[in-house]
Each structure stands twice: as C-alpha cells, then as structure tokens.
Structure 1
Amino acid sequence: MHFTGTVYRNPYWPTFPLLEITQGCTHNKCKFCTMYRDVPFRMSPIEHIEEDLQEIAAIKPDATTIQLLSANPLALSFDKLEPILVMINRYLPQMEYIYAATRVTDIRNKTVEELKKMRELGVKEISLGVESGDDWTLDRINKGYHASDIIEQCNKLHEAGIDFWMSFLNGVGGKEYSRDHAINSARIFSQCKPMLVGTGGLVLFPGTPLLEEAQRGEFTPLSEKEMLEELLLFVENLTCDCTFITHHTVSGKNLTGPDFLQRKDKIVTALKNEIEHGDMDMLAAIRRNKRTL
C-alpha cells in the first residue's frame, strides 16, 4: 500500500480498508492543527491508487466499505474523483459505502448533480470538520469559510442524499468568545441537521499558531471547568436530532450515542454533574497527554 506518511483516519468508521488518494490538506492554515503542516497537498498517482485497489481486492474482494485518505480527498474535482470511484467499484464490486473526511469548501466546487453521481458510486457519508458556527471564531482560527458557507454546502449535501457529520471544537474560541462560539455553533449545527455531531476539546499542540498566541497573551485558553461549561451551553442549544459523540473533553460516559433529543436531558444532567464533581486535574492530565487531534 502506498501510504506516504502518518495515517489519520476516522476511528468510528470501518478502519479497513483504507485508500490514500491524496496527501496533505488543501488549506493547511488552521491555527490549532499541525497534522499536515509539512505535507504539500497532491493527488496520488492514479497508478498507485490502482495498485492499492488490486492489493485490497486480493485480501478482501468482498469489501463493502472503504475510507478515503488523506485530510480532504474530496477537494479533488468531480472529473478527477469520478474515475477513482468507478475504479473502486470495479475492483470491489460489493462496495456499498465510501467514506471520507473533507472540508466545507470541498463541496463548493461540485454541483448537486455531481454529488448525486458520487452518492450513486458509493459516497454516502462524509465528515465535515467545521469546528465552529460562529463567524468571529472561524476567522480567528483561519478556517477559510463562514457560517453561511456551512449552511449552503450542507443544503447541497441534503439535496444530493449524502449523510454528513459535523464537528464542534470545544474551547477554540477562547475565554472571551466562549459563549458566542457555543451558542452560534449550536444554532448553525441545528439548522444544518447532520446525522452526527461530534465534539472534541482543544489541545494547544507545540508548533501551532494558537499556542504561540496563547504564550504571547493574545489567546486565553479555557480551564477544564470552563470547557465543560461551554460544552454544556452547546448541548443545551443544540436542537437537531442526531447521533452525539464526545471525546477527549470528558470520558463520554452517558454522553455518546444515537437519539440525541431523547437523551438530551440526561446528557445535560451528566455534564452538570461533571462540572460540579468532576476531577479537573485528571481531565487536564488527559489533555496534556494528547499528541494529535
């Protein structure tokens, strides 16, 4: 297999097989991330993609799922993606689900009709790392789009019949904008109606501009208790029914699962209990031990 560097994949999707069709991230400017900092974006040679599919077909010819790599492989134009999707189905004829993480901006260069064709070829579920629905926060962390862009592109995905996840990055607005980040994100997420909402807690990794800004006093990180209070505010204002997942802010006990609206009161109660009685030193230690997003 032609894996050219560290492999990042969604652990909630089937983890085999994986197929690298791009390297790096087209944006590579988010202030909290170093995952692809030294990896220029490029498409994998089509010969490598075909060789990898031949290898997968030899090992698991009956594969029904596959996860595309790397950071945002759907950044490729439809004209470049379609032959790859057709090739996947040719080598793996029982293919049902082709998964990929991607950016909101990657949907912009595709029409609804092209997205429908992608769904027919197996792209039925994608993950959008939106991080926030608050315009000030999105600008602050240099995501490269605004809340109106999120809504517009998610509407296209709904029209095309492609399910999608949305991620909320707890704490990324800093102390001064925590409330706006939580409430405005919940409002935009609720309007977009994703099948799944995932939340993770901000970690200021070495080499990130956000850590450097924090060290200069230009960004004020939240304490562990403030992170939980922000997450609670986000949950209280989230009104779409979805699967809800949280990780590396709290343990996730009693929080993660389907049917969010049915479980919302229990999630709120669990968060309030964690805020009141949780071991903040332990949560801080868990955060300090994180090495990557």
Structure 2
Amino acid sequence: MHFTEPVYRNPYWPTWPLLEVTQGCTHNKCKFCTMYKGVRFDLRPLEDIEADLAELRSTVPHARTIQLLSANPLALPYSRFKPILEKINEYLPDIEFVYTQGRVTDLRNKTVEQLRELRDLGLREISMGTESGDDWTLDRVNKGYHAEDIIEQCAKLDEAGIRYWHSFLNGVAGRSHSREHAVNSAKIFSQTNPMLVGTGGLTLFPGTPLLEEAQVGEFDPLSEKEMFEELLLFVENLTCDCSFITHHTIGGENLSGPNFLARKDDIIASLRDEIEHGDLDTMARIRAMKRSL
C-alpha cells in the first residue's frame, strides 16, 4: 500500500481499509494546524491507486466501506474524482460506503448532478473541517471561506443526498471573540442539515502561527473553564437534530451520542457540572501534552 506520512484518518469511521488518493492539504494555511506542514498537495498516480486496490482485493475482497486519504481528496475535480470511485467499484464490487474528508471550498467546482453521480458510486459521507460559522473567526484563522459558503455548499450536498459532518473548534477565536464564535457557529450549522456535529478543543501546537501570536500577545487563548463556557454557549444555540460528539475536550459525562435535540438538556447540565466541579487543572495539563490534532 502507498501512504505518505503523516497518515491521519477519521477515528469515528470504519478504519479499514484506507486508500490514499491524494497527499497533503490544498489549503494548508489554517493558523492552528500543523497536520500537513511541509507536505505538498498532490494526486496519487492512478497506477498506484490501482495497485493498492488490487492488494485490497486480495486481502479484503468483500469490503463494504473504504476511507479515502488524505486531508481533502474531494478537492479533485469531478473529472478526476469520478474515475477513482469507478476503480474502487471495479476492484471492490461490494463497496457501499465511501468516506472522505473535505473542505467547504472543495464543493465549489462540483454541480449537484455531479455530486449525485458520485453518491451513486458510493460517496456517502464527508467530514467537513468547518471549525466555525463566524466570519470574523474564519478570517482570523485563515480558513479561506465564509459562513455563506458553508450554507451554499452544504445545500448542494443535501440535494445530492450526501451526508456530512460539521466540526466546531472550541477556543479558536480567543477570548475577545468567543461569544460570537460560539453563537454564530451554532446559528450557521443549524441552517444546514449535518448528520453529526463534532467539537474539539483548541491546543496551541508548536510551529503554528496562532501559538506565535499568543506568545507576543496578539492572541488571547481561553482557559479550560472558558473553553467549557464557550462550548456550553454553542450547545445552547445549536438547534439542528444530529448526532453530537466531543473530541479533544477531556471531561464531561453523557456528552456524545445520537439524537442531540432529545439529549440537549442533559448535555447542557453535564457541561455546567464540569464548569462548577470538573478538575479543570488536570484537563489543562492533558491538553498541554497534546502534540497533534
């Protein structure tokens, strides 16, 4: 199998098999991320993809799911993405679900009809690295799109019948814009139809512009308690009926699971309990030990 280091995969999806169709990230400019620092975005040659599919056919010939790597394979134009899905179906005819990561901007160059055709070839679920629905925050951390783009592009996925995830990056706006980040993200996400909303807490990793800005006083990171308070505000304002998970945020009971709206009051109660009684110092130490998203 051909893989380019580092290899990241969504841990909440079926994790085998993995198929690398691109390497790196087309954007690679988000101020909080070092995931693909130094990795040039490129398309894995089709002959390599076919060789990997042949190997998978010999080891897992009846695979029903497959996860595409790396950061945002969906950035490939329709004319290059479709043949890859066709090859997957040729070598693994039992495939039912193709999972991939994507950026909001990856959808701009695809029509609803093209997305529908990709869905018919197995593309069923996309994890969108949305991070925020607040324009100030999106500009602040250089995401490369705005809230209106999230709504517009997700509407195309809805029409095409492709499910998608949103992520909320807790703490990424800093103290000065925390409230707007939480409230506006919840409002924008609630104008779409995600199957899942996931939240992760910001860690300032070495080598990120956001850490450098924090070190010179240009970014005001939240304390662990303030992170929970921001997350609480986000949850209070989120109204889409979806699954809800937290990752990279330590602590809290009964936070993750399906049927968000039915569990919303319990999630709010758990977050308030963490704010009042949680071991926030320990959580902060654990967060400080993280070295990667």
TM-score range, shorter chain: over 0.9
SS at match of 1:219: coil
Mapping of residues 172-211 of structure 1, within 5 Å: 172-211=172-211
**Cα distance in 2 between the residues matched to 1:183 and 1:148:** 15
TM-aligned CA deviation for residue 160 of structure 1: 0.3
Per-residue deviation, 1:251: 3.2
Q: Which residue of 1 aligns with 2:101?
A: 101
CA-to-aligned-CA distance 1:80-117 (integer Å, 9 cap, x gap) = 01110000000000000000011000011100000000
Q: How far apart in 2 are the matches of 1:100 and 1:229? A: 31
Q: CA deviation at 1:252?
A: 4.9
1:62 aligns with 62
State the match for 1:244 in structure 2.
244
2:281 maps to amino acid:
D
Cα distance change on mapping 1:252 and 1:62 into 2, 3 Å: farther
Aligned length: 293
Question: CA offset at residue 253 of structure 1?
Answer: 2.7
Q: Which SS does the other structure have where 2:88 is aligned?
A: helix
Counterpart code for 1:120: D
Equivalents in 2 of 1:286, 1:246: separation in Å?
A: 15
- 1:150-192 deviation line (CA, Å, top 9, x unaligned): 0000000000000000000000000000000000000001111
Deviations 1:190-220 (A, max 9, x none): 1112000000000000000000000010000
CA distance in 2, matches of 1:147, 1:60: 41
Would you say 1:89 and 2:83 are equivalent positions? no
Matched letter for residue 21 of structure 2: I
Secondary structure class of the residue paired with 2:191 = helix
CA contact (8 A) 2:22 2:42 kept: yes
Matching residue of 2:129: 129
Match of 2:50, SS state, is: helix
Seq. identity, % = 70
> What residue identity is the alignment partner of 1:170?
N
Aligned-partner Cα distance in 2 for 1:140–1:288: 22
In 2, the alpha carbon distance for the partners of 1:264 and 1:275 equals 17
Structure 2 residue identity aligned to 1:262 = A
Cα shift readout 1:34-90 (whole Å, capped 9, x = no counterpart) = 111100000001110000000011000000000000000000000001110000000
TM (normalized to structure 1)? 0.99
Aligned to 1:148: 148
Query: Structure 1 regions of 5+ residues with no counterpart?
Result: none
In 2, Cα distance between the equivalents of 1:74 and 1:270?
36
SS at match of 1:169: strand
- Residues 251-262 of structure 1: matches in 2 within 5 Å? 251-262=251-262
State the superposition RMSD in angstroms.
0.6
Question: What is the rounded CA distance, in whole Å, between the counterparts of 2:219 and 2:23 in structure 1?
Answer: 31
Q: How much has 1:286 moved relative to structure 2? A: 1.3
1:285 aligns with 2:285: yes
Instruction: For residue 245 of structure 2, give the secondary structure of its aligned residue in structure 1.
Output: strand
- Structure-2 change in CA distance of 1:10 and 1:17 (3 Å): same
Corresponding residue SS for 2:285: helix
**Aligned-partner Cα distance in 2 for 1:4–1:223:** 35
- C-alpha separation between the residues in 1 aligned to 2:237 and 2:78? 36
Q: What amino acid is the match of 1:204?
A: L
Q: Return 5+ residue gaps in structure 2 as ranges.
A: none
Q: Moved runs in structure 1, 4+ residues, more than 2 A? A: 250-253
